[in-house]
Amino acid sequence: MMRGLATGLALAAMLLGGPASACDNPRQMPGFKTCADVAKAEREGGLVVYTTDPEDGTAQLLAAFHQAFPGVSTNYIRLQAGALYAKLMSERQAHSYLVDAIELSDMGFVLDFQKRGGYAQYVSPEMTAYNAQYKSQPEGFWTWGAVIMAAIAYNPKIVPPDQAPKTWQDVLDPKWTDGVSVKVSNSGLEHETWFELRRLYGEEYWTKFAELKPRAFDSYVQQYDRAVNGQDKIIHTAQYSGYLQFKAKGAPIAFVYPDAGLPAGPEVWGLVADGPHPEAARLYMDWFLSVGGQKAYGDALFLNSVRADVPPPPGGVQASQLKLLFPADWQTFLASRTQFARFWDKMTGLR
pLDDT digits over 257-285, tens only?
999 999 999 999 999 999 999 999 999 99
Contact 298, 312 (CB under 8 A): yes
Q: Per-residue pLDDT for 75 more than 60?
A: yes
d(CA 300, CA 62): 10
pTM for this model (two decimals): 0.87
- pLDDT for 21 equals 56
d(CA 224, CA 239): 9
- pLDDT for 11 equals 44
pLDDT digits over 176-205, tens only?
999 999 999 999 999 999 999 999 999 999
Nearest one of 292, 260, 289 to 168, comparing CA atoms: 260
* Half-sphere exposure in the Cβ direction for 133 (13 Å, CA): 15
pLDDT digits over 292-330, tens only?
999 999 999 999 999 999 999 999 999 999 999 999 998
Give the SS3 label for residue 281: helix
Contact 296, 146 (CB under 8 A): no
- The mean pLDDT value for 43-54 works out to 97
Q: Which residue has the higher pLDDT, 68 or 16?
A: 68
- pLDDT for 78 equals 97
Nearest 5°: the CA angle 123, 124, 125 is 115
Name the E strands within 93-241.
101-104, 119-120, 143-154, 180-183, 215-217, 234-239
- pLDDT for 20 equals 59
Nearest one of 22, 61, 63 to 288, comparing CA atoms: 61
Long-range contacts of 217-222 (CB under 8 A, 24+ apart): 217/181, 217/182, 217/183, 217/184, 218/80, 218/183, 218/184, 218/186, 219/54, 219/80, 219/183, 220/54, 220/183, 221/54, 222/181
pLDDT digits over 13-43, tens only?
444 444 555 688 999 999 999 999 999 999 9
- The mean pLDDT value for 209-232 works out to 96
- pLDDT for 108 equals 87
Nearest one of 85, 233, 230 to 161, comparing CA atoms: 233
H/E stretch holding 179 reads none
H/E stretch holding 213 reads none
Q: Is the dihedral of CA 313, 316, 319, 320 positive or negative?
A: positive
Nearest one of 228, 214, 215, 187 to 53, comparing CA atoms: 187
In this structure, which amino acid lies at residue 163? Answer: Q
Q: What is the dihedral of CA 256, 319, 60, 251, to 10 degrees?
A: 20
Q: Per-residue pLDDT for 1 more than 50?
A: no
- pLDDT for 24 equals 85
Distance of CA 46 to the CA centre of its chain: 24
- The mean pLDDT value for 76-81 works out to 94
Nearest one of 170, 189, 188 to 180, comparing CA atoms: 170
Give the SS3 label for residue 62: helix
pLDDT digits over 116-127, tens only?
999 999 999 999
Cα dist from 67 to 30, 44, 63, 64, whole Å: 13, 16, 6, 5
Through-space distance between the first and last CA atoms of the chain, rounded to whole angstroms: 36
Q: Which residue has the higher pLDDT, 52 or 13?
A: 52
Domains contained in the chain, CATH given:
3-147+265-321 (3.40.190.10), 149-263+325-341 (3.40.190.10)
Q: Per-residue pLDDT for 332 more than 70?
A: yes
Q: Which of 5-14, 37-46, 49-58, 277-286 is predicted with the least confidence, judged by mean pLDDT?
A: 5-14
* Alpha-carbon radius of gyration of the chain: 20
